[in-house]
Each structure stands twice: as C-alpha cells, then as structure tokens.
Structure 1
C-alpha cells in the first residue's frame, strides 16, 4: 500500500521596515538602523538594530522599551533594552539583571560608536496580524525604569506579504536499492581476430575504463556488485555472418578478460551481442547533414537484409560510404558495459556524509528524511530536494517536492515544469493552487485550494484566508 506523509512549511509573515527615527542630542544619537516584526511558526519575532553615539553622564541610563500594539486596545511591552553608564551598569547587574534574564543591556563607552541587536519572540495571537512595533525611550538616573512619559523613537507599520502554505509528500521506502554504472569501451582487434591484445591500438586505455568502473564500486564498503552486463557490437561493414561471429566471440573474449582479473562467478557476468550496429548508424545519421540524407535514411531503416543495405549505400552513395568507413564504423565497434550493484540502507546520520560524497547511493526517502533535519528554506534543505529530482527525474514524488521548493523561491517557471510530472494527489492540487496564487490568478487558486481543503489538507484553509484578505 502506498505510504504518504505530509511535511508542512510554516508560514513566515514579514512586516516591512519603516523609515528610521533618530533621537538626537548635542552629545550624539540613539538610532535604529534596521527593524522587523514577523511571524515564524507560532511565534511573533521582533528584531531591532540600534546605533549609539550619545554620551551618557555618570549616573544616566537610557531605557528603550519595544511595544507591540494594534489600532485597538491591544498592547504588549517586550523586555526592555538598557544603555547604561559605567556606574549605572554596575547597579543594573546587581539589581535588574539578576531578576530579569530577558532584558538586554549594554555599557556605554563615551566617544565610541556602539551597536547592539535586539531579538525577542512571544507567542503569536490573532490580533497581532495588525500589529505595529514601536520603540519608546526614556532616560533616568537609575538602573530601573521610572514612570515618566514615553517618547516614541521608531515605529513599524505592518504590510503583510502573502505566503501560501505547501505540503510535501513523503516518498515510499525503497526496499532494495539497486544502482548501475554504465560506459562504453572501444576495443580494437586486428582484422578477423577475436583475441584481445591489450597493447594493440588504444586498448590499454579502453580496458582501464572498465576496470576503473568496477574498482570504484568494488572498493565501496556500502555496496555489493550483483552482476555485470557486457554487450558487444560490430560495425555494419563486411558480411553479416562474419560480423555476427566477430561480435559474439569478441564479447566472450572481453568477458574472459574481466573474469581473469576478479573472482566473479561466470554466471555473474552476462553477455549479449549485436552483429551490426545499425541503430547506432541511424543515430549518427540523424545528427548529421548530408545532401542525400533522406534517401540514405530510408535504406538504413528498411527491413532489407543488412548486407543489401550496405551494398546499396556503397553503390549509390560511394562518397558517403567512404566517409563513414573512415569516421563512423570505428565508433560503431564498441562494447557497452553495465555494472549493477546493491546499496545498503543508511541512517539519517550516515545519509549526510553519503549525500556529500555520492548522493546516488541514497534513496529518495533517505534524502527526504535528511532534508527534514535542516531548516526549511535553507540552502542545504533546498539543495537536497533539487538533487533528489536530478537523480530521480521521472519520479512523481521527487517532482512534486521540487515544485514546492521552486514555489517557496517564487520560481513559477521551474515549478510549472516539475508539476507536469507530479502525481495526481491533493498535495499537487495544493501546489498548483499556490502556483496560480503567485501568478495573481486568485480565482483559479481559490478553486484548487477548495479542492485540496475538501481532500483534508489543512494548509489549503489558511491559503483560502489569505486570498480573502487580498480580495
């Protein structure tokens, strides 16, 4: 039975930064440089950066109180910020600092520019959707706030940025991870000879390609080779019956060469052969421009006997035949090899190292579990999902999750391509709704969100509320 899981991306509602407000005195300023108020999951986060150039007298403290409020009666004071003279900082550490660990404090060094960053979060409440952040300031000659009037020195006005929610799909567990490495070797033989001569022509380099592929897999302690496939091809020049024998015996010779180097059981090396590689000839012809290309292609793709095909091309198009005899037939004599191997399963902890070194050995489900250990939307998180779709380009689940990453990055073009390969599940319906939402097609998005909601996806209900706010 198909196993499905849902991973929910938290909505982050950013509130825009407003014009900076400066409190100026002859001795310098206390100035906010950057400020933000945003929702992260179930928390409201306030972030404020402050530059301080104002000099303080020996008994002075500046107390900055961040306040979150809306246009109604809601008001919430956050832990204050203390900027203390050296003497008042000692008092602060002895009194206020001990009692309230949430407050932030800085000892002022007159004559220097100092910067501090304030970050606090509180449980999010519904009224905070319309909240603003104000920073109010007062000065006193003690380390504890007094009761004098506040002066507002910075204010943030919320401008909600729509952030529709998405649902990822958990891939099915790959019960047996089978992987392959493929290649082609162009081994030369003297005319009508089927014995491999390693020093002949470029055979040393071509044989080494096969050996290197096998050794790379064999030396990996996480995998075990299941079998090797060798498929030999002869070129279309010469009599078909002779080419059939040459292809068969030369393929067998390569099998014996590999068997002598390793302890593989002979049944673990599978062989096949093609007497004449007319398919390869057709592929080369398709990618080439010739004056009589269509006529030649008609001969190549016909059902006539291979010897008759060669004879007609040789007779009717002698210049072309001389060209392919020199340039094409040599590459149509090749041995394609495939090394198939089994990969053991990995824990989440092991998966990170495998992802960094050889991600092909991970299953789609292992990469998904690894992604969940990283912050949603982070560079590594996104990279894992995009690597997954590169390794499994036709997998519907991989394409749906890659579409979600693209939508999180507002890349609607890439998302559209991925969604074309996504499975017919509610999560895909939701993602298509988000695609229309980002494109400004709110009516189409609303229809899709309602379908996803009816299918039981809670994220769709939140997305519908966002549409209603916009409309």
Structure 2
C-alpha cells in the first residue's frame, strides 16, 4: 500500500491517546513520550514522540518499527525509525536510507538526551476504526536488523464516534394548562361518629396536610383552583351497611370542614365514598409474606359479600384478623383528595424562574422553548428535557426528546426505554437508527436511517454516509 508523506493537520478527529512506553537498559532508556492516532478525512495519521537516553556502542543500530493492527487479522508496518551510532549512521545514509526512502533516522550522541518526532499518514481503511499502535524494537551491531527483541506497545483505542444527527420534536401548545395536586389524610373518628374533632387522635396534623396543600395552590398568583374532589374510605371491619353510611357522612363532614375555612362554592367540591377499602387490603396483603397468604388472598379478592369475607377471615384466620384489625384497618380509613387548577401561560423569561420554583406549572411546549435558549448538550439544556419527561411520563413527544438527550449522552439503556413510548414519526426512526449505531448494530441502524430518509429527513442522509464508512 502506498504511504503518504509527512504533514501536519490543524484539526483532526476520532482516535487519540497519550502513552509513555519506556524501553529500559542499564545504560539508559528509549521511550515514547506521546503517541497518537488521528483520523483526518480519508487519512490515518500516526504521531510518535521518542525520547532517547540510551547509549549505543560504536557499531550498534536500533530500529523502531511502528505497527498498526486491529487485534484481528489486519496488520500494517509503517516506515521504521533508525537510531544509529555514528558509524551506522554513515551506512544508513549511503545504503539503507536510499532503499527505504521514507524511513526516519537519528544519529545517537551518547551521554545526552535526544528526542525526535515521527509523523506519518496512510489511507484510512474501515478496520482502522479499532486500530492499535505498537512500536517494535529491533537491534543489531552490524547494520542489519535482528529478530524482534522487545515490543513496546501503546494501545490507542478509538474515541467515541461523534453522535449522528438527531431531531427533536416541538410539542404542541397546551391551550389550557390543567394541573392536579393529590394527597391522602387519615382522619380518625370515635366509634360510629361522623363529626370531625380537630383535637382527636392525630387529626390536627392530618387536617393541616389538606390545608397546606390548598394554601400552596391558592397563594400562587399564577393559578386558579377550579375543582376539589374528596373520596372517603372506611375499613372492612364491621357491617357493610354501617360502613356505607359512615364513609358517606364522614366524607361529607370533611367537605363542610373545608368549606368553613375557604370561600369555595359547595358545587366546586365533589365527594364520593367507598364503604370498605378491600382494594387497599389487597395491596397491603400483596406486599406481605406469610404462610397462609394465598388462602387469605382468595378470600379477599373473591366475589363473596363483604360481610361474608370478614366472617371467614375471623373464623379461619383469627390470629391474622386480630393483626390486621390493629395494624392495617387504621390505614384503610382514609380520605383521598384531589385539587384541580388552571395555570396561566408564561413567556420564555417567566419560564426561567418557574422552571426553578415550580416546573410542574410549565407546559411541555414552554419547557421546549426554554431549552432552546441554552446550548445544546449543556447541563441546563439536558435537565430541562429530562424534567419534562418526568412531569409528562406518558407523553410521546417528551419521551422522544428524552431519548435524544440519552443518545447524546450515549445512554442506550435509557434511550431504549424512552423510545418505547415515542410516537411513530420519522424523528423516532432516526433516533432508533442512532440507538443501534451506538450498539454497533449497523444493519439495523442503516434500516432505520433509510426509513427516516424516505420520510424526508435530510439528517438521515448524513447519518447514512457515516454508517456506511463504519460497516
């Protein structure tokens, strides 16, 4: 293969590593102080800096042969470096140098430190994407190199290939930003009582949870509360008919409590109730391990009337029933509340502060416009897109854009997860192509890039050119 001449390139890309590989002898060393491989356009550029302190005898010649391999079947020896004694340098100039015109030579001056820089280029081939540079030392005392005596290796692995082009999707404008805040309060009542006693049990703390949630929303001048819903649950102990009344009237009592504190219209607060929370019972049971769990589960999830379920649990599993009566049923008497509100739209400048203080109030489109004011790939840019997918976990556009961020960070696992929820659009095909490219699955990558290209994405054409170089 024809070798190219020596040259210097200002901007190089792809492969680079610094290495120090000393060849030690009693009378000094020979070492590479810096070694690098660069892909520059269609060329592979080899750069080696050598420092010599080893003294040579009067008839000694040292030959360093740079070798590029891919650790498989490919191997390419480059023009050698000759380090000669004075006598061998004369021989080199008269004979060897004329035969090996691209070889480099240095006349050794014993007792001093010398250095030389080797720069060589060869046509780039696909196997060189995983090239390794080795420096093999050969020496003799007659001017003719002997067999390889010492191998000095500087391994140069490819730096990550620049991420191919991706295309983010612009979210649609959210005409009316509706948000909800949810909570759960465990309000206790004396047996069969339906009146809220603020000082009873832990009621002060539980009621304060509801108040704090409402206040946080009401005090935000950017939002307007539109609706509140309260759903009350009673526990499975006791007659179902009684529990139906208690859950209904206790939920109504909580609604009246909230109306006394605020100027809400009665129609703005909706109530509902569940007489006995068997679903909550099942959830607690699912997270528990004990010997009779399956038998208990069959009763809890069965089609028997609730009173019959309780009766069977008491009779067949008395110890278990006493346990849940003391520890679980208090958790199954709860009031779940949801506060719905509208948020006004924000300008980009307003969004900067809102993103820091309460990003939930931003729409997906507002966060997208905010991200565009930052440098792509910067910490804030990435954070905005990843916050968006956390706030809108099921939104296809948010998932595609989060996949693009993950691919830019070479996080193929997260990217794959997000792409599962991405929309069926050319931009998703493009992102899937990048995903497979990063996984070194070039055939799959090419297929998705061709899909995106056929759909009119010009970025796919650039990506195809890149992948064809790698295959």
Task: Check whether TM > 0.5.
Answer: yes
Residues 232 and 336 in structure 1, CA contact (< 8 A), matched pair in contact too = yes
Summarize the alignment of residues 63-462 of structure 1 with structure 2, pairs less than 5 Å apart. Answer: 161-462=161-462
Aligned mates of 2:209, 2:39 — CA distance in 1: 56
CA gap 1:322/1:429 in 2 versus in 1, 3 angstroms: same
Give the deviation of 1:19 after TM superposition. Answer: 7.2
Question: 1:235, 1:332 within 8 Å by CA — same for their partners in 2?
Answer: yes
Q: Give the corresponding residue for 2:25.
A: none
> Residues 291-336 of structure 1, C-alpha deviation per residue, up to 9 Å, x if partnerless?
2111111111111111111001001110000000000011101000
Q: Displacement, 1:15?
A: 5.6
Aligned 8 A contact 2:171 2:364 in 1: yes
Q: 1:354 to 1:372 in 2, by over 3 A?
A: same
Shift of 1:290: 2.1
> Which deviations, in whole Å up to 9, do the C-alpha atoms of 1:332-351 show, x marking residues without a partner?
01000111111111111111
Structure 2 unaligned spans of 5+? 1-10, 20-33, 41-157
- Following TM superposition, by how much is the alpha carbon of 1:468 offset from its aligned partner in structure 2, in angstroms? 2.3
Distance 1:409 1:294 in 2: 46
Q: CA deviation at 1:438?
A: 1.1
Answer whether contact 1:13 1:161 (CA < 8 A) is retained.
no
Q: Residues of 2 paired with 1:360 and 1:19: CA distance?
A: 47
In the aligned structure 2, how far is the partner of 1:217 from the partner of 1:397?
Answer: 28
CA distance in 2 between partners of 1:208 and 1:38 (Å): 66
Runs of 4+, deviation exceeding 6 Å: 17-20
On the 8 A contact 2:237/2:310 being kept in 1, the answer is: yes
State the shift of 1:38 in Å: 12
Deviations along 1:354-398, one digit per CA (max 9) or x if unpaired, are 101111111111111110110000000000000011111111111
Deviation for aligned residue 1:162: 3.9
Q: 1:314 to 1:460 in 2, by over 3 A?
A: same
Q: CA deviation at 1:444?
A: 1.4
Q: What is the CA-CA distance between 1:420 and the residue it aligns to? A: 1.0
SS at match of 1:453: helix
Gaps of 5+ in 1: 1-11, 21-32, 40-157
> Aligned partners of 2:186 and 2:159: how far apart in 1?
65
Change (3 A) 1:196 1:426: same
Q: Secondary structure at the match of 1:169?
A: coil
Matched pairs, number:
329
Take 2:208 and 2:326, find their aligned partners in 1: how far apart are those partners?
A: 25
SS in structure 2 opposite 1:243? helix
Root mean square deviation of aligned Cα: 2.4
2:60 aligns to what? none
Contact 1:162 1:466 in 2 (8 A): no
Please say which structure displays the higher CA radius of gyration: 2
Secondary structure of the 1:225 match is: strand
Aligned in 2, Cα 1:248/1:161: closer, same or farther, shift over 3 Å? closer
The answer to whether the 8 Å contact 1:14/1:161 transfers is: no
What is the deviation of 1:14? 4.3
Hey, what's the Cα distance between the residues in 1 that align with 2:159 and 2:277? 66
Q: Deviations over 1:229-268 (max 9, x none)?
A: 1000110100111111110110010000000000000000
Distance in 1, Cα, partners of 2:39 & 2:362: 37
Measure, in 1, the Cα distance between the counterparts of 2:188 and 2:240: 19
CA contact (8 A) 2:163 2:434 kept: no
Cα drift, residue 13 of structure 1: 8.5
Q: 1:161 to 1:334 in 2, by over 3 A?
A: closer
TM-score by length of 1: 0.67
- For residues 81-133 of structure 1, the C-alpha deviation after alignment (integer angstroms, 9 at most, x for no partner) is xxxxxxxxxxxxxxxxxxxxxxxxxxxxxxxxxxxxxxxxxxxxxxxxxxxxx
**8 A contact 1:192–1:246 mirrored in 2:** yes
Report SS of the residue matched to 2:168.
strand
Return the alpha-carbon distance in structure 1 between the equivalents of residues 321 and 439 of structure 2. 56
C-alpha distance in structure 2 between counterparts of 1:163 and 1:336, whole Å: 47
Shift of the 161–294 alpha-carbon distance from structure 1 to 2, 3 Å rule, reads closer
Q: Residues of 1 paired with 2:159 and 2:325: CA distance?
A: 71
